[in-house]
């Protein structure tokens, strides 16, 4: 992607950009030439690097609105601009609703919906005054598009995030573009916690039409495109990156050839 799109001079923030999908996004942006600032509550075990370049890390609890505002002010003071925000931070443990409680649900909504809203509001205040505006990317999930047993609150928050992005795209046009990447299953360093050993990961991958889980760099390549001028007329869109989706269970239950 870096050979096709040049983001030199471009400043990007990737929340939760130090591991997993976030690290893949960070590496893709670095490889395309962007300056990248990552944030998380804890520093990474090692810096995120690509193409001989290193992302900057600043600690941040995204659930603290005052801290979020201070963080974006610092990014602007240090780098002079902000071109792209990737709202990647989020996640959930597996927990059935009957085993949950309202406090747990509130924490999940705060991380997966309210925190991206706070970050986007702070980023918009910087981008709106720039000649070239800016781009905000939400990292969504197929959990927000279908039933999500065991992660129901997370799925509801991701559905809300996609809707929020479409409203932002209308309210903040034409200065700021807002889009959502709706992710399916991605292979990261934590995949074994969800799918088991290599055989389990491969078996899960075979349920995807393309036959495998996504690599984080493939998510990053999509972010590079949407952050670039090549996507200048794309806003309010939801780009599904899920390898073709999930094979419907009824096809395997049917008694005819499928």
| 186 occurs within a structural domain | yes
Catalytic member of 124, 154, 195, 233:
154
Q: In 10 A of CB 104, how many CB atoms? A: 15
Q: Does residue 4 sit within a domain?
A: no
CA angle 26, 29, 30 (to 5 degrees): 85
Task: Note down the domain range covering 213.
Answer: 11-253
CA angle 49, 221, 229 (to 5 degrees): 110
How many structural domains comprise the chain? 1
Give me the helices (H) in 110-151, please: 115-127
Identify whether 6 is part of a domain.
Answer: no
The CATH number that applies at residue 141 is 3.40.50.720
Say if 3 falls within a structural domain.
no
Tell me, yes or no, whether 75 lies in a domain.
yes
233 flagged as catalytic: no
Residue 113 located in a structural domain? yes
pLDDT tens-digit series, residues 234-243: 999 999 999 9
Cis amide linkage into residue 174, ω under 30° from 0? yes
pTM higher than 0.85: yes
Task: Give domain status of residue 211, yes or no.
Answer: yes
Q: Residues of the chain whose pLDDT is less than 50?
A: 1-2
């Amino acid at each position: 992607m870096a050979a096709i799109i040049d983001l030199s001079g471009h400043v990007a923030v990737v929340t939760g950009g130090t591991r997993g999908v976030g690290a893949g996004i960070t590496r893709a942006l670095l490889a395309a030439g962007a300056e990248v600032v990552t944030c998380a509550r804890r520093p990474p075990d090692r810096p995120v690097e690509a193409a001989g370049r290193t992302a900057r890390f600043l600690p941040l609890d995204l659930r603290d609105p005052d801290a979020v505002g201070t963080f974006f002010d610092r990014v602007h003071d240090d780098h002079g601009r902000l071109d792209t925000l990737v709202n990647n931070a989020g996640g959930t443990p597996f927990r059935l609703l009957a085993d949950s409680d309202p406090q747990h649900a509130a924490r999940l909504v705060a991380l997966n919906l309210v925190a991206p809203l706070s970050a986007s509001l702070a980023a918009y205040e910087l981008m709106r005054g720039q000649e070239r505006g800016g781009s905000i990317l939400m990292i969504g999930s197929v959990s927000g598009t279908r039933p999500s047993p065991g992660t129901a609150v997370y799925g509801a928050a991701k559905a809300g995030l996609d809707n929020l992005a479409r409203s932002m795209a209308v309210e903040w046009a034409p200065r700021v573009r807002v889009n959502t990447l709706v992710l399916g299953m991605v292979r990261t360093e934590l995949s074994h916690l969800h799918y088991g050993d290599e055989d389990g990961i491969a078996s899960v991958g075979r349920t995807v039409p393309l036959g495998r889980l996504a690599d984080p760099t493939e998510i990053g390549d999509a972010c590079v495109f949407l952050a670039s001028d090549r996507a200048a007329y794309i806003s309010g869109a939801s780009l599904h990156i899920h390898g073709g989706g999930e094979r419907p269970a009824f096809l395997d239950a049917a008694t005819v050839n499928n």
